[in-house]
Structure formats: structure tokens, C-alpha cells
Structure 1
Amino acid sequence: MSENFEKEKNKDACPTRNIDSTWQDFWLLLMVLWKRALTMTGFLTRRIHLSLNLTFLFVLLTPLPRSLQRRSSGLEKFYDNAILSRAAHMIRDRKYHLKTYRQCCVGTELVDWMLQQTPCAHSRTQAVGMWQVLVEDGVLNHVDQEHHFQDKYLFYRFLDDEHEDAPLPTEEEKKECDEELQDTMLLLSQMGPDAHMRMILRKPPGQRTVDDLEIIYEELLHIKALSHLSTTVKRELAGVLIFESHAKGGTVLFNQGEEGTSWYIILKGSVNVVIYGKGVVCTLHEGDDFGKLALVNDAPRAASIVLREDNCHFLRVDKEDFNRILRDVEANTVRLKEHDQDVLVLEKVPAGNRASNQGNSQPQQKYTVMSGTPEKILEHFLETIRLEPALNEATDSVLNDFVMMHCVFMPNIQLCPALVAHYHAQPSQGTEQEKMDYALNNKRRVIRLVLQWAAMYGDVLQEDDVAMAFLEEFYVSVSDDARMIAALKEQLPELEKIVKQISEDAKAPQKKHKVLLQQFNTGDERAQKRQPIRGSDEVLFKVYCMDHTYTTIRVPVAASVKEVISAVADKLGSGEGLIIVKMSSGGEKVVLKPNDVSVFTTLTINGRLFACPREQFDSLTPLPEQEGPTVGTVGTFELMSSKDLAYQMTIYDWELFNCVHELELIYHTFGRHNFKKTTANLDLFLRRFNEIQFWVVTEICLCPQPSKRVQLLKKFIKIAAHCKEYKNLNSFFAIVMGLSNVAVSRLALTWEKLPSKFKKFYAEFESLMDPSRNHRAYRLTVAKLDPPLIPFMPLLIKDMTFTHEGNKTFIDNLVNFEKMRMIANTARTVRYCRSQPFNPDAAQANKNHQDVRSYVRQLNVIDNQRTLSQMSHRLEPRRP
């Protein structure tokens, strides 16, 4: 990487440091901010010189926490230098309503200044949160002691007074202050979102703005204790939740036997649940809740709650609000019954967006499906489809959840006949004209749903005989009706286009089933475009025996283990008692179940399939080739440009990501064996993440020279930076996690020699991996990016699994459609990330780097963590 690039990276980076306490950083930030502003304006008045001296003399004389007192003396010189670096145009005396406020800043100006000074602040809301951190700690105060920071024409003041003059800092001292600026900015950017959330939650519920409620609602989406609640209930909770904090561990929140007055959700910290005579029966942590049972049953507290640690934060819902929300939910719930059994449960909610609630007009109401039988859910969606062209987008959005998720509760073998029945349905009551109008609109609604269904499933339908037969039959029916009903002619061309495209694609030579090699490519690395792997594609795969001999089988990618056993038995001449075993490079063995499908793509990077009688299971051992390489590729690797490597990695990752169908996420979440479908494209994309992660660790652990290892660290950090620029977050996080692997992170002597510039880059990257508050740092970063982008797929999978495991699929024999809606919303992230085409970097695209392209697509790695740790200890033995 060029020197100019490194300088540019250094300028834009927001590095972090390991800090024992935030006190020192707050004061440090304050002083550095003033110095930075001075650098911009280039002047200080004598009056401000005098004020600054006494202000920071007070700071220096203020008792620090004991842990900082030993360190404070070395910071005095830095404090003095920063004192003299204050911006005269921002901090001055101001008059308002005939009253003078001394040495004040304006809230809006502070926000503007923060946005100008650091790339860590991406929005005014984020900048407000960063200033709020200082307000909470008392470093910055409203002149009338307002408790929170606002982006308004309000006056805020740091510690103020006047004292004697002092000399300006030298250029070297100014440079030192500059170097600390982004450190403290990053610290504030990490703490800002939580401070902003606390600020909102401390507001009386009646004073929360629409934006405030939306921020709280977004936070509630990721709280485990609330995962089972409907969207409406979460939005109601956003308006009544109260922030409560306790500083000391051992504090009793409430005692057993007391009246239940509140429901609590743990935001930070942990509590012990104590019962008289039994002691501590369990411990609750972040995301757990307690206290609800007493409110629901209107009974005394069944246990005492004691804080397990200092500084615990809670969200609290008081009893009155809790009961009101329950009443409102029940009042807004409509239940459709047949034979005294619920068949459809609807919830009345405001229609439209948040803006529809503004003004004097009452918002429209609509009904959303909460649960129901599959047939009634389909019937409801067909009845509520709006046919007006202006409402197409809104209708598509409503239908999208059903179209994406119906495979879970109403597979095509049930859906297709139901759609045919609805299309041909005729009303039994009404005038002839009313019957004709009903039949026409009913047909148009069914066509509308089929169009969206076929568009979403696309090529996936080619592997479903039921779906293909239905499409052909349905098209013929609509064509026949269109000859007599002119209104149907509008939709016929679109239906014809989709049906022909799917049918022709299925017959196209390139779409016929492919034969894949064990590495899941076609053997032609120069192929123009990677095609998605289909379940009917065949794979040539080696299955090993106990003595490490192997037989090669040719089976469909989506073949079940039972079919694999049959293919192996045909080759071996006997299949009695055979089992199929997944063997990792570390020797971990898993016996596969007969109904497991698409097992080839679920292997670990160096994993292999073994076939043996059950009695030989314990005798199976890994192949020597599974151990991975013994020599690194640093000689080749170091000659390649970091940007070229990142670019080629992004091109390949985009190809893999673009092949993943949204439905594969659904199959993966609910279990591919339940659908008998392959998730091969998703599996390979997830495996690519692990491959890059272990590539980083492998190359470093195979490098014996310390100086070369330092160069490798620099190289990987540069590649990560370029991946981030290309919005390839999957590879970016894979590289950072590789550098965080214990086999690499323990190499203290190597890290010590890494230049501070790169340590700061890495610290910034590592901060984005912070898992606290359900990976808030990552989510905030992604929210600011426009498509196309490659997301951090493991977190997306985790979100869907979290929703799946936290909510039942069926409630009282009815489909829990609220769960379907939540999972569909997460899966749509994939569609959003690919909503814009990936346009390659023109400068990079014109280069012919076949060697780089081949290298990033054929990484050879060690994926045995035990082996990597042993290699790491040989490089740098544990210190005595």
C-alpha cells in the first residue's frame, strides 16, 4: 500500500486505546477538542487565556479516582497544553433575555463542530449522543442545569473561571494533542448510543418525540425477553418504558412477598433471584426479564431480586401501563371462529407510516394477521389485496411476508391447489352483476399473488414439479378467461413473461443440471459468471473408508444420507450396516442421520466424509491431507497489492453472495431436512467466512521470522481496510476475527513491533466487532451504508435463529404469523444488500491480475485450532 494511502487512512481513522477508567478520557477529550478548534481559528484572546488557567487548575486539583491518581501527574503537561488550545469563536459570553451567560457554547454549534472534526460522528443524532456522554459525567453542563444535551440554541458550559495568562503550546505539543483527538472521539462514539438511549428513556413518556419512540422500538427488537411480543406491543412499550439504574451490587430491588408494581428487563449487569429458605436459585443477565408474573397474576412477589454487581441498568414497565397495554391489545384483537375454534386472529393497528399520525385527521386502521390456519391466512391476504395501481407497492409489501414464508406452513403441494380453487371460486349470493364483479376481482387478486410468488421464487420453482405444473395450468386458465374478460388482459402479458422465462430457463443448456467437483466449482475458473448451485446438480465426491482408501460417488447435491449410503454401497459391493460420518481435521466425528440432506456443503473447510460399519466408528482417524499446509505463502502473498487482494476477494464474495437465495435462509433456520431442499449456496458463503478467518491465522502461524509476521499483520490490516471501503463486511470481519484469534492475539512480541498507526486501525476495526447490546456497533455502521454491500452473514443467521428459537411456530394449532413476519423482515436484508448492482472499481477491473484472482479463490488453510495454538506457542513460547 502506498504511503499516501497510509497517511489518508491515518487521517480518517478513529483509533481506540485500552483505558482503565473513562474519567481521564472525558477530561482529555475536553482539552483536545478545544485545542483542535484553536488550530482551525488560529487565535486566542488574552481573556480566554486567563479563564482557561483557573478552569483546568480546578480540574487538576479535583480528586481523581484512586486508580487514576498514580497516573495523573504525567498528564499535567498535556493538560496545560490543551488548556491553551481553545476556540474563541465557540466559547464566549452570551446574552439572552437581558441575562449574560459566561463562557458558553451553543448546542447546535457543538453538534456542527463534532460532525466536522471526526468521521466517527455520522449524523446529528450520533453527535448528540457523544456530547450527552460528557453531560452525564458532569464535564459539560447546561447553564440552567438541564439534565440532557439537545441539538438546539441552548447554552452549555465546561468548567469556567478566569486566571492568569499562560504561554501558547509549542508545535510539538500541538501535534501531541492532535494525535489524541481521534482516540477520545472514538471512545465517545462507542459510548454515545447508550448515553443517547438513556437520555431518551429518562424523558417523561409524554415528552418523547416520534423519532425517540422509533429509536426505543429499534432497541426493543433485539432484546431477548421481548422477542415473543408482537410489533404493536413493542411499539406500545416504547412509549412507557422507564430507565432505572443502581450503582451498588447487593442492592435489593424488591423483596419476596411485596406487592408487584413493575416489570423489569435487564439492560446491563446481572441479578440474583433469591427465595427464602433456598438462597440464590438462579442468576439473570442482560436481556432477561423478571417481575412479570406478579403483575399477570396480581399476586405478591414470589422471590427477592438482589443486584449481583455494580452499575446495573434496567428498563421498567409499571403495573398501570402493563395492564393498559394488555387491555389495549385484547381490545384491538379480532378473532374469527369456526365451530367454536379460532381460525384467524387479527390485530387492529394504525395504517401508513408515522407521518400519518400527524395533523388533525384520524389515522386509518388496518388489520394485520397475528395467527391463523394456513387456509384462512391465504384467504385473508387474497381478500385484502388492493387492485388500484397506486397501491401496488403497499400491496406487494403486505403479500411479501406470506409469499416468502408460506413454505414453512403451507408448502406448494397445498398452496397450488388452494390458489386454483380460489381462482375459480364463484359467489353464491348477490345479483348477477355483483357475482360477476366479485369473480373478476377475485381472479385479479389471485393473479396478483401468483405473479409475486413466481417472481420471488424464480429459478427455485424449476425443481418443483407441482409448482411448474400449476404455473402452466394457471396460465392456460387465465389465457382462456382473458378472451372473454377484457380486464384480465392487463395482467396476462406479465404472467406470460414470467411463465415463459421460468420454463425456458429450465430447458436452457446452462441451466441443466451441472456436474460439480468436490470443491463445488465446475472446474472452469475462467467461467464468466458463477451460477447458483441447485439441488438437482450432481457432485463428484470422495467418500473415505477406515483405511483411508476412497470411492468416488456421483449424486445430487441435495441427496439425503440414505441416498449417499446407497451410492457408496453400490461402489463397495455391500452396504449392510454402513453409516456416514463427518470427520473434521481435529478428529471430531459426527454420525449423520439418514434424513439429513445436502451434507456435502455442510462439511468444515478441511472436513471429509467417511463410510464404515458402525463397529469401526471409534477406529476412524483424519486423513494426513486434512492437516492443511506446512509452509506459508508469504513469498507469493507479499508481492500482491493489498488493494488488488481486497478487490478480488470482494468480486469472489459477491459472486457467492449473489447465488444465495432468500429461501435458503428460511431452510437453514427451520432445518433443510424439513423441506428436503439444499442450502448449498448459503453453506458455501458461510464457509468462505471461516476460510478467510483461518487463512489469516494460518499465514501468521506458518511465518517463522518475527519481522515477516509484523509485515503480515500490516498486510492483513490493509486488506481489511480496503474490504471495508468496498463494503465487503463479510471478509472485513473474517480478517479482523482472524487477527483476534487466540493463536495470533497472544503473539505479544509480534504485536509490540507493529507501528502505532496500524494498532489504531486494528483497534478501530475491533471496536466494530463489539458484541455488546446485540452488536450495536455493527448495526449502526451498516445502517449508514447504501447498497450494494456484502453483510456479515453469521450475524444475520444468528438473528433469524434467535427469532425462531424464541417464538413458537404454532400457537394453539394456529400458525404464528407474527413470527413469520419477523423472520421475513430479517431475510429481506439480503434483498436490500443486493438491490443495487455491484459495479466493479473501474481502475481495478481494467487490471489483469489472474494470479491474484486464482490465489484468493484457492486458499489453503489449517482449520484445526489446537494445531494453530501449538504452532503459535512454538513461535513465541509462554513466558515463565
Structure 2
Amino acid sequence: RPSERSGEDVDIILTRLRGVKTFQRFPPPLLLQICTCAFYECLEKGITLFRQGDIGTSWYAVLSGSLDVKVSETANHQDAVTICTLGIGTAFGESILDNTPRHATIVSRETSELLRIEQREFKTLWEKYRQSLAGLLAPPYGAMESGSNNDRLTDKDNMNVIDLSLSPCYQVLQVPSEKLQRAAKVLRNAILSRAPHMIRDRKYHLKTYRQCCVGTELVDWLVMQSACVLTRSHAVGMWQALLEEGVLNHEHVKKHVFVLYIFYNLTYFTRKIESTKINQGKVENQEISKRSQRLLYHSQYFSNVVVLQDQPGQRTADDLEIIYDELLHIKALSHLSNTVKRELASVVIFESHAKAGTVLFNQGEEGTSWYIIQKGSVNVVIYGKGVVCTLHEGDDFGKLALVTDSPRAASIVLREDNCHFLRVDKEDFNRILRDVEANTVRLKEHEQAVLVLEKSHRASTLGSIKISCRYTVISGTPEKILEHFLETMRLDIHHNEPDPAVDDFVLMHCVFMPNSQLCPLLMAQYYHVVSPPGSEQERLEYTLNNKRRALILTLRWANTHTYLLQEEPAAISFLEELYGSVSNDSRTLRGLKDLVPDLEKVVKLHSEEVKSAKKKTLIRQFSNGEERLQKKQPIRNQDDILLKVYCSDHTYTTIRIPVAATGKEVISAVSDKLGTTEELLLVHLSSAGEKQLLKPNDVSVFSTLSINGRLFACPREQLSGLAPLPDQEGPSAGSMSTFELMSSKDLAYQMTMFDWELFSCVHEHELLYHTFGRHSFRRTTANLDLFLRRFNQVQLWVVTEVCLCTQLSKRVQLLKKFIKIAAHCREFKNLNSFFAIIMGMSNPAVSRLSQTWEKLPTKFKKFYAEFENMMDPSRNHRSYRLTVTKLEPPIIPFMPLLLKDMTFTHEGNKTCIDNMVNFEKMRIIANTIRQVRHCRSQPFNPDICQPNKNQAEVRGYVRKLCVIDNQRALTQLSYRLEPRRT
């Protein structure tokens, strides 16, 4: 409760709020007061928060999830129509300021986290911070961000005051941003000093254009000048960013899109930015690179704007791929199939409006379009009720009109200047749905659908073979999905060559068809004896192809599962039986001979591994130094672990259990070791004293412990008295004296080597077990858990070292050291440690050390700012994703984001639809797993860094990092270093 919160609690809450874009604009005093008076609420799906007509008692802001806004014209709540959805960062409930009834009913659309402030506290905040809060609230309390004087629009007459313009032509900003003005200034000076010939008078159609550049020359010049600009499309986006901001101008066209073959007037360009002197015609490369990075960051958005502003009929295949990739990351479209998204990419229209107060459409009008907010915000207005809510970036509205013929339930008014939308017209959307239905094939048995296929007309290529049309599995029963892939599998490509459709099944089948079900079906397919009518040669060819398909799928399956098959004796027996049958059949069917050596290799490999696996590997929970220095090997289900389990008096017992043991099995082993019949609870106790009761069906509990967490077993009555062990507190002194003499590059290299070992041990299926739940498979995710644990460890290492360093000058040196290490990690394509270090530096215990950051040289501040830009979560982490696409393997990816993508897909899509497997969902998750496969498609080269004489010392240090994982303790240390300013 607010009255019980300490200063450290407030800091933790503050960190969470700063992660929400809406709160980032609030001044620190306002944020601190919100942290001290707000309540946290978590709503399950389908919970009604309040109803239309209720008298409000609280104001709310959405921290995660989404909520539907429902409005009824009658008193009957069953007649309510959903007019919009509130997303993250949206605030509502401001009617408590004047005690008016609620204008709408709010229902949670999914599990959602809310921040709630009671009426009395909110009124106090409003009186003190009216100007700051006005930007978040809807009118009449909030102000239009352009300073528009529009009052609350409550009747149709007011609504019709503003004419609606649907022109897609973009309007430039009145005041360009300061950072882009600086970037423009640097580029202008660079052109004048290095390529003045680009700016000259040009003639076109008997008219002279003074002091102009050609778009193609600007693009070519920028690609040549800056190493960070890798492609021409990036350069186009960078110039487009300047065009959008109004610091660059077309000479002879009005359409505001950067076009390659027209003139740009740099006289206007010069007039829009402050004139500066050119230092003897020289511009520093470093300054150009820095400003190019800033422009490149903005260009990632504006490149898409350029593509979207093309007329749908003029879009190229590359344009459609860019738009499709953008649509994949829009939550409002997550319920649509990939086929529908691809079709939408060809018809979606970019629409922008320059002025707040512009009305997109009026209540009661015929619905003709569906909108998704790309940038900016809008108010939802209902006659007689005024503004009922505000929608922000990522929200959508108007969809109801696409599927019904009902009139608009509300009016939509721009809340701020310069809003961007994606628009889908009703005619296009309905046509797409009709086309999809026409191209959908449903196979039924006993009047029940068992397989749903969708015809894909997109040309695709497998090896050197072009496929003009194929069917894509949308859903089906497990048996029918397998049957379809066996029937349609290509026989003219090698089983080691990629076949995405079949690979999707091989990767994902464990979710809906375990090996115990798959192996008999594959064997039945191999022995399939029913042949179609025809000549003996045709029947023989049919039999051969049947067997080859079963064998090819089996080989793909075995190569994907690798060592996991050794944990299933039935799977090994299946391989051995199949190998025996193929060896015999190959004597009469010569078409099988080429597959026999591959199958023999697989069978021998797994048979030998099974024999050696009987000697179980013993893993120690807290390994000694020598074991940590050894190269990591994958942890397998059948391995054993020596596990320490503590009692309430801090004594412990050591048990030996399988890695995949459940919580129930751990408790049973502890009870046997202690000789007690008393019912015990298994508890994960963190260093902060937080207790987590582990469930009986939890698998591989040791790998889920926090870095300094410990396992306790105790009777229920002793649960409240559990206290952390002294060694859980972590180090009391930093290790800077040890690693400050080590080269930053050597540290980054050894960290990358260790991370690569951990990453290489992670099996692809562990990502599935993590997403769908380990208990569903009874499989361990220990390798993945250890890799994720390493990320947390590196992040906390940064915070621990800074907070344990008492000298200001040394702390500054530490920040410089960590920035250098991060830079080398990025150079080695180790994005996991790179992000861990940067996130450690942005931890509130470090970021609040203002005296330390003030002393950091400007050069390092710039590097850190650049690194932070890569972490920008906006537009679904687009900055990071674009960075990864430019890298060649081997890459160590930012694994938490990949897991987030998979979890988002899993939770946002049902696994089964109408008693059939939703294979669209399987395909999306498989694509994410293939990203991991791509990152490891090339071996890591250990020779990228020359070994030094203290290489062993550096290697030992990075593998034995000691950290404090108690955020409260770290915050306390931070306040001792630099007390809170009064």
C-alpha cells in the first residue's frame, strides 16, 4: 500500500513507469508523486472495470494489455458497441475531476496491468501539475497538442465545423526538431566542402532551377560518405526524414516524398537552418558519422513512409515485403492470417493529417475505412458525452464498419498535430476476405473439417525449381497435416536442403503430435501397400515414392531432434527397425539406395550415443572454479545433478536427482534423505527474501533459480520464518582492481566465447518448451535457462561493480570501461552481452548517479546514447531488428526478445481452432526459431582476437562473475554513493 512504501520501493516503481512511453514526458516530481500514491491492479480477460453511467472513483493508465471501450445508446448494457480499444500508455477515467458519470463501459480484452489513482489524490495532482497532465487527458481537461482552441465537441454542428481531408499528401512540420536541424547543417556543410559541384543551376523544360541537387546524386553521395549507410534505401530514408521535418524542399513538385529524379533546392535548405562557417572547407568524418547515425535512426520509419505513399498499384515486390514485415508487428492485425496480411500490404494506404482538431469521420456516417494509428493520437467523441477516450500509436479504430453496415458509433478527432495512419478501405478488405474464402479448401470427413488449406499464388523457389502455386496448411488434425506433407513433399531436393513447409512440421510437431504418435505413422507410411490402378511400373513408382517420402521426413526429423532422440528408446527402436527394412528393400528398389548411407549414419550415431549415455553426466549446482573453466556441454534430461536443498535453520542436504526431476520428486528425495514423513514445501528464496512456492509439476527446478537464489524445503508453519543465507547477499567489495588492467577487447572476446558456448548448447526445442510450458513436455530447458541467466548475470555485474565503487573518479573509469566492452561485444556480434551491459548501465541504481555521469567525457556519452538507440523498444524493437538483418552469422542474438516474440504469438493465437491444430500459429513460431538457426549457421571463429599472455586470467574472471541480485540492496548502495538531493 502507498503508506507502506519505502524510498527503494518508489525507485522500483519509477523504473517501471519510465518504461511506458506516456510517462516519459512527465517531470520527475510528478512521476515521484504518482509512484507514492498509485495502486497496481491486474485484470484477467473479460473483467468489467466500470460501466457506463457509474460515478467514478479512480483514474487509470494502462501499463500492459488492452481494454475495450463499449458504449450503449440505451440503458441496456447488452446493446453496447465496442468503439475502440485502449492500449499501453492510454489513460482514462478523468470524469472524476467533475464527478460526471462514466461515458463508457471498460472491459479488459486480455490480461491487463493498470495503474490506478484514487479521486482525491488525482485532484491534488491535477491542481499542481495541470499543464503536464493535460497532454495525457482528453478534452475538455486536456489540451490539443497543437494549441487548438477546440472545445469538447458534443453535437453534430460542432463536428461539421472542420472539413475532412483525405489527401495522403504529407504536410511538413512547422518547427523541425533540433537534432535533425543539426544533422542537416553538418550534411549541408559537407556537401559544400567536399562536393560543391553537386549544387548548381539546372535546366529542365526551358526553365532554370537555381542552386539545386538531384535526388540520385544526394543518395549516391551519402552512401559514399558514411560507413553506417549500408544501402541506397537507407540513404533515401535519411533524406526523406529531412524532407518530412521541413529542412529540405522539392524545387518543382508539391508531393512530399523523396524522389530520385527531381531537383532539391539547397537555398531553401540553407534558409531553414542556421548558417555556420565552414572551417577551411573541411568537415570531420566523425561528425558526419554521428549525424548520419541520428538520421539513420529516423530513416527507419520514414523509409516505410516512402514505400507506403506509393499508390498500391505501383508497389514493387520489395515494397510489398517491407510493408508486410511492418504489418507482422502490428498487434491489431495479429488475429489475421499471414495470407490476409500479405494481401493487406498491397492495398493499405498511408494517410497523414497536419493539424489537431481535424475530424477523420463523424458519428452516424457510413463506415468506409479501418484505421491503425502509426504516429500521434486521436480522441473518440460521442454526441452528448464528449470525449470518451484517447487512442495512441498502435491502436486501431473503425474496424466494425468493415464487417457490418452499421453507421459510425463515434467521431474521431485528431488530438495532436502531425498524425500518421494506415488506412484500409472497406471495399479492399471485403474483397480480400472474399478472395481468401474462395482460395480456401476444406477437407471433411463425416461432415467434420479435418484439413483447411489455402492456395498461395506467390511464386516461390526451392533450389533451382520455381513453384508458381502451392497450398498452405492453415489448420487440420495432426494426422491429416502429416498426411498432407507426405503427399506434397518434393522428392527432387536433398533432405539437407531447406524446405520451409516441411521444416515447419518437423520443428513444431512435438506441440501437437509427440514422437510416440509420429513414429508409428511414419512406419505405416513406409509400409503403405495400397496402390492406385495402373501398370506395374506405375504401381512400383508409387510405392517407391511413398517410401522415399517417409524416409526423407524421417531424416529431417532425426537431424532436427539430434540428441533429444536418445532420451526416447521407442524413437531409437523405430530408427533401427526402419533402417533394417530400408536395407532389405534397397536390394529390389534401387531408388532407395542413395538414402541408405544417410539413414545408417543417423542410426549408428544415436545407437552409440545411447550406449554412452548410460553413464550419466553428473552436474554440480555450484561448480568449482575448474569446472567453470571447462567447455560447456549440453545438459540432457537423463543427466543427474547434485542439488543443495536448505532447511529453515540454514543446514542443508545434498540430493542426486535427474535434471528433469519435478518439484514433487525433489521433495520426495529430500524427505527420504532427512528421514521425515512431514509434508514439506519446496521454496525458491531470493536474496531479497522473496519466497516463491514451487509447484509439484514444475520441471528442472534448479535451472529456474535466480542468480543468488536458493532452494529451501520446510513445513508450511516455517515458511514465514525463512531468511536468506549470508552468502546470498553477494560481494561486499568490487573487483575493479582485478579487471581494470585487463584489455576491454580481451574481456569482450572471452565473454563472447563463453556466451557462444552457452548459446550453442541450447536446443531449438527448448524454445518451444519454454513457450508452451516445460510441464507439458516433461522436458528440461536447463541450457536455455543458463543462457538467459548469463544475460541477467552480466547486467547485474555492471550494476554491482558501479555501486560498490566508492570513488567518483573510479566510477567514471568504470562507465568508460563498460562502454568500451559493449562496443567490442557489438563488434564481435555478441548482442546478448552488448544489451546486458547497456541495460545494466540504464539500471536506476546506476542511471541516478548524476555526479558520475556528469564527469563522463562527451565522447563516451555519445557512444552510450547511440547504444541506447539500438535498445529503443518502439515499433516492436525495429531498431534492433534492422541491425540484426545487416549482420552475417555467427551472431549471438538478444534472446529475451526472441522469446517475447514467441510468447506474443503463443498467447495471441489459439493452438487449436474447431478441434484442429492452428498451423498458422506453428508457422509463425517456427520462423522465429529459424532466426536462432540462422545465427548459428556458421561456426564461431576463435581467432578473431589475438591471444594475450593473461588470456587464462581473463577467461577465468568472466566465467566467475560475482554479483548482487537484490535491486533494493543495489539502490541503497547507490544512495550511499550519491545521496538524494533535497
TM-score (normalised: structure 1):
0.87
Deviations 1:760-812 (A, max 9, x none): 11111111001110111111111100001100111111111111111111111
List per-residue Cα deviations over 1:642-668 (Å, max 9, x = no partner): 111001000000000010111111111
CA distance in 1, matches of 2:677, 2:330: 50
- Identify the residue that residue 110 of structure 1 maps to in structure 2: 218
- The reply on whether 1:141 has 2:141 as its aligned counterpart is no
Give the alignment of 1:193-592 within 5 angstroms. Answer: 193-248=300-355, 251-273=358-380, 284-307=391-414, 309-353=416-460, 364-389=468-493, 396-427=499-530, 429-431=532-534, 433=536, 434-508=538-612, 512-519=615-622, 524-527=627-630, 529-592=631-694
Q: How far has the Cα of 1:840 moved from its partner?
A: 1.5
CA distance in 2, matches of 1:249, 1:541: 63
Deviation of the 1:136 alpha carbon = 1.8
> Is the partner of 2:421 in helix, strand or coil?
strand
How many residues end up aligned between the 2 structures? 806
For 1:32 and 1:232, locate their aligned partners in 2 and report how far apart those are by CA, in whole Å: 44
Residues 1:817 and 2:919 aligned together: yes
Q: Does 1:747 align with 2:855?
A: no
1:798 corresponding residue in structure 2: 900
Partner amino acid for 1:439?
T
Query: Could you say which structure has the higher helix fraction?
Result: 1
Q: Supply the AA of the counterpart residue of 1:202.
A: Q
2:55 corresponds to: none
Q: Which moved more, 1:546-555 or 1:817-826?
A: 546-555
Amino acid of the residue matched to residue 124 of structure 1?
A: R
Task: Give the Å deviation of 1:577.
Answer: 2.0
**One-letter amino acid of the structure 1 residue matched with residue 196 of structure 2:** A
Q: Deviations over 1:576-607 (max 9, x none)?
A: 32111111111221111111101111111111
Question: 116-125 vs 587-596, which deviates more?
Answer: 116-125
Structure 2 stretches lacking a partner, 5+ long = 1-24, 26-173
Counterpart residue number, 1:602: 704
Match of 2:345, as an amino acid? A
2:770 aligned with 1:668, yes or no?
yes
Instruction: Provide Cα deviations, 1:714-761, integer angstroms capped at 9, x if missing partner.
Output: 000000010011000000010001111111111111111111111111
Give the direction of change, closer, same or farther, for the CA distance of 1:554–1:281 in structure 2 (3 Å limit). Answer: farther
* Cα pair distance change 1:223/1:695, threshold 3 Å: same
Q: Is the Cα–Cα contact under 8 Å of residues 565 and 575 in structure 1 kept in the other structure?
A: no
For residues 657 and 383 of structure 2, the distance between their equivalents in structure 1, rounded to whole angstroms, comes to 63
Any idea what the Cα deviations from partners look like across 1:821-862, whole Å, max 9, x if unmatched? 000000111110011111123542465511110110010001
User: Which residues in structure 2 correspond to 1:731-810 (within 5 Å)?
Assistant: 731-810=833-912
Question: Residue 141 of structure 1 aligns to a residue in which SS?
Answer: coil
Deviation readout 1:528-549 (Å, 9 max, x if unpaired): x321011111111111111221
Residues 31-79 of structure 1: CA deviation (Å, up to 9, x unaligned):
3223223443xxxxxxxxxxxxxxxxxxxxxxxxxxxxxxxxxxxxxxx
One-letter amino acid of the counterpart of residue 328, structure 1:
D
- Amino acid aligned to 1:437: E
Q: TM-score, normalised by structure 2?
A: 0.78
Greater Cα shift, 178-187 or 618-627: 178-187
Q: CA deviation at 1:484?
A: 2.5
> Residue 12 of structure 1 aligns with which residue?
none
Greater displacement, 425-434 / 312-321: 425-434
What SS class does the counterpart of residue 594 from structure 1 fall into?
coil
Residue pair 1:374, 1:410 contacting (<8 A) in 2 also:
yes
Q: Which amino acid in 1 is paired with 2:905?
A: T
CA separation in 2, counterparts of 1:347 and 1:395? 21
- CA separation of 1:707 and 1:293: change in aligned 2, threshold 3 A: same
Contact 1:544-1:609 at 8 Å conserved across structures = yes
Q: Distance in 1 between matches of 2:715 and 2:425?
A: 62
Instruction: Work out the CA distance in 1 between the residues paired with 2:543 and 2:243.
Output: 65
Distance 2:968 2:281 in 1: 48
Higher relative contact order (CA 8 A, sep 6+): 1
Inter-CA distance 161–426: structure 2 relative to 1 (3 Å threshold): closer
Pairwise CA distance, 1:99: 3.3
* Residue 454 to residue 749, structure 1, CA distance change in 2 (3 Å): same
Q: Distance in 2 between matches of 1:471 and 1:249?
A: 68
Q: Please say which of residues 289-298 and 121-130 is displaced more in the overlay.
A: 289-298
| Alpha-carbon distance between aligned partners in 2 of 1:810 and 1:468, rounded to the nearest angstrom | 30
Q: Which amino acid aligns with 1:499?
A: V
Structure-1 residue corresponding to 2:182: 28
Query: Residue 193 of structure 2 contacts residue 278 of structure 2 at CA under 8 Å; is this kept in 1?
Result: no
1:395, distance to aligned residue in structure 2 (A): 6.5
Q: In structure 1, how many angstroms separate the alpha carbons of the residues matched to 2:276 and 2:899?
A: 55
Q: CA separation in 1, counterparts of 2:300 and 2:435?
A: 31
Question: Structure 2 CA distance, aligned partners of 1:767 and 1:441?
Answer: 54
- Matched to 2:902, the amino acid is M
Q: In structure 2, what is the equivalent of residue 68 of structure 1?
A: none
- The SS at the match of 1:159 is helix
Q: 1:563 to 1:138 in 2, by over 3 A?
A: same
When structure 1 is superposed on structure 2, of 495-504 and 517-526 the one drifting more is 517-526
| Secondary structure of residue in 2 paired with 1:862 | coil
SS state of the match for residue 576, structure 1?
A: coil
Q: 1:323–1:403: structure 2 CA closer, same or farther, 3 Å change rule?
A: same
Matched letter for residue 426 of structure 1: V
Give 1:457's aligned amino acid: H
Distance in 2 separating the partners of 1:279 and 1:393: 63
SS of the equivalent of 1:791 reads coil
Cα distance in 2 for partners of 1:355, 1:154 equals 40
8 Å Cα contact 1:561/1:595 also seen in 2: yes
Q: Which moved more, 1:137-146 or 1:649-658?
A: 137-146
How far is the alpha carbon of 1:269 from its aligned partner? 3.6
Tell me how far apart the structure 2 counterparts of residues 313 and 160 of structure 1 sit (CA, whole Å).
25
Say whether the 8 Å CA contact 2:746–2:945 is kept in structure 1. Answer: no
Amino acid at match of 1:206: G
Distance 1:512 1:825, change over 3 A: farther
Determine the C-alpha separation between the residues in 1 that align with 2:534 and 2:558: 35
Cα offset for 1:869? 1.0
- Find the aligned partners of 1:522 and 1:174 in 2 and give their Cα distance: 55
Q: Which structure 1 residue ranges, 5 or more long, are not aligned?
A: 1-17, 41-86
Provide the rounded CA distance (Å) in 2 between the counterparts of 1:294 and 1:436.
57
Q: For residues 201 and 740 of structure 1, do their structure 2 counterparts lie closer, same or farther at Cα, with a shift above 3 Å needed?
A: same
Cα distance, 1:246–1:622 mapped onto 2, change above 3 Å: farther
CA 170–371 in structure 1, closer or farther in 2 if over 3 Å, else same: closer
- CA separation of 1:139/1:513 partners in 2, compared to 1, >3 Å: closer, same or farther? same
Q: 1:858 aligns with which of 952, 955, 960?
A: 960
User: SS of the residue aligned with 1:508?
Assistant: helix
Identify if the C-alpha distance between structure 1 residues 301 and 159 changes in structure 2 by more than 3 Å, giving closer, same or farther: same
Report deviation, 1:566. 0.6
Q: Identity across aligned pairs (percent)?
A: 67
Letter paired with 1:293: L
Q: 1:273 to 1:546 in 2, by over 3 A?
A: farther
SS of the residue aligned with 1:101? strand
Query: Are the aligned partners of 1:692 and 1:734 in contact in 2 as well (CA < 8 Å)?
Result: yes
Letter in 1 for 2:617: K
The separation in 2 between residues aligned to 1:232 and 1:214, in whole angstroms, is 13
Question: Which 10-residue stretch deviates more, 803-812 or 143-152?
Answer: 143-152
| Deviation of 1:225 (Å) | 1.4
